[in-house]
Amino acid sequence: MVAKAIVTDTYLEHNEIEKLLEKVEYIILATPAPTHFEKETPIQFTIFLNTQEELPEGIKEQVFQKFLEDNEIFNPKEVMSQLMPVGFGKSQQETPMPLLLIKPEDQRSIPSIPMHVIDFLADAKGFSEVKNDKLTGWSYTYE
């Protein structure tokens, strides 16, 4: 079976995003790392915390360490932790795909909400679908 690419060309509107996130604690997204990072850190993780507040430095580190431990993630590199605009793409998947909006044109054209985002490269004991099959996946965790 060949996996099909995830197509997200339509996006949730702002009010749909707010409704979607009502009981969400966080979302974790795992994608294959860019090829030149693949050997040491085969997975790019993005954690979307459902808060619109900037986390203090000490709290950022504690939250990050808890995610690493809880998900058996190791060797983190290239860590970014800050408030960022996040959009949500509609696809054939059950839940909308969270999209970290980096490009200014995306920030202007895709409805979004600020969330605290932790983005990094790493390896993990699990996530074989990402490491071996080069698939992207995400999971919502609710309160």
Question: Who contacts 69 (Cβ-Cβ below 8 Å, separation ≥6)?
Answer: none
Domain assignment present for 141: no
Helices (H) then strands (E): counts for the chain? 4, 7
**What's the domain count of the chain?**
1
In this predicted model, which residue has the larger pLDDT, 132 or 24?
24
How much is the mean pLDDT over the chain? 91
Burial (0-12, 13-18, 19+ Cβ within 10 Å), 27:
buried
Nearest to 53 by CA among 123, 113, 133: 113
The parent domain of residue 87 ranges over: 10-136
Confirm whether 19 is domain-assigned. yes
d(CA 101, CA 17): 14
Q: How confident is the model at residue 1 (pLDDT cuts 50, 70, 90)?
A: very low
Instruction: Indicate whether 142 belongs to any domain.
Output: no
Q: Is residue 5 part of a domain?
A: no
2: in domain: no
Q: Is residue 52 part of a domain?
A: yes
Does 97 map to a domain? yes
Distance CA 22, CA 42 (A): 32
pLDDT tens figures, 57-112: 889 999 999 999 999 999 999 999 999 999 999 988 889 999 999 999 999 999 99
pTM over 0.85: yes
pLDDT computed for residue 64 by the predictor:
96
- Asked if residue 3 is part of any domain, the answer here is no
**C-alpha closest to that of 98 among 78, 80, 121, 118:** 118
Residue 37 banded pLDDT, cuts 50, 70, 90 = confident
6 pLDDT exceeds 80?
Answer: no
Gap between the Cα atoms of 40 and 60, Å rounded? 24
